[in-house]
Amino acid sequence: MKNLKERLGAGQTLLGCFLNLGSSLTAEMVGKAGFDFVVIDIEHGSGTEANILHQLQALEHTAAAAVIRVESHERQRAHRVLDLGAHGIMFPRVNSAAEARACVAALRYPPLGVRGVASMNRACEFGVSFRRYVEASKDVLLGVLQIETAEALDNVEEIAAVDGADVLFIGPLDLSMSLGILGEFDHPRFQAALERTAAAAARHGKATGVLMPKPDDFARYHGLGFRFLACGSDGAMVNNAARTLAQNLIQQRRQRTGAS
């Protein structure tokens, strides 16, 4: 199993990309591009749980580990995609230590958690490696908890202290909206939120992550101690490339024919 948790524990900086189209083809393209991880998004993405299997299969022969962003910390949302072979779960809008503990419990088998136990699934090779998978899962499966509200910031120290809260991940749009500064990522309050989250994570031996608005932001976030860095999505890349190509051709047509 691709072990992001081990790599973060060794101090590595990991780079990722979101997948929001529900497409196994774009998943494979992104996986082969060289990213360390992808986030298959079923909170805001157009795909559903039904699309996850094919995306995981497409990513299998790439170096990218698969983290699934689920809709909530309910255990059913987590264990369904874990059984399919996810390497970690991203939980949105975690506002308290109690919610953080619920997220971690959904990742872990009893007695450490509440994950349902089944052996005939893809994650454990349909029973072949069941016991080995169960024993290794606590040390391998990555728990990514999103800090997206002012309430989460107030409780970030307690959230970071939860065992299994491996990555505190800033959701920049949600957090900036909660702070009343939507999209103002250079605002002092947003900067303070970044620093506060990174400091709390560091005190408890956890990693900090963020969805960077643009790749040029890498130095800024890395300098703050962020080591789980995502940028872009398959949907954004297709959209941007299509618009750039179309505008290029439209401009050339206008220059030669005068037509808009």
Residue 109, CA distances (Å) to 65, 113, 127, 206 in order: 21, 5, 16, 21
Q: How many domains does the chain have?
A: 1
* CATH code, domain with 46: 3.20.20.60
Q: Which has the closest alpha carbon to 3: 91, 112, 100, 87?
A: 87
- In this prediction, residue 75 carries a pLDDT of 81
- In this prediction, residue 134 carries a pLDDT of 95
DSSP 206: -
pLDDT tens figures, 77-130: 898 999 999 999 999 999 999 999 999 999 999 999 999 999 999 999 999 999
Residue 260 pLDDT exceeds 90:
no
- In this prediction, residue 74 carries a pLDDT of 81
Catalytic residue numbers read 44
- Domain span at residue 12 reads 4-257
Residue 232, CA distances (Å) to 110, 162, 195, 201 in order: 36, 29, 22, 24
Q: Before 172, cis peptide (omega within 30)? A: no
Query: Mean pLDDT lowest for which of 54-58, 75-79, 163-167?
Result: 75-79
- In this prediction, residue 259 carries a pLDDT of 79
Residue 198 pLDDT exceeds 80:
yes
Please tell me the distance from the alpha carbon of residue 205 to that of residue 161, in angstroms, as a whole number.
9
- In this prediction, residue 90 carries a pLDDT of 98
pTM, entire model: 0.95
Please tell me the distance from the alpha carbon of residue 43 to that of residue 163, in angstroms, as a whole number.
24
Residue 190 pLDDT exceeds 80:
yes
Residue 188 pLDDT exceeds 80:
yes
Please tell me the distance from the alpha carbon of residue 138 to that of residue 125, in angstroms, as a whole number.
18
Please state, rounded to an integer, the average pLDDT across all residues of the chain: 96
> 235 falls in which pLDDT band (50, 70, 90)?
very high
Please tell me the distance from the alpha carbon of residue 187 to that of residue 156, in angstroms, as a whole number.
20
- The SS3 of residue 231 is strand
- In this prediction, residue 73 carries a pLDDT of 81
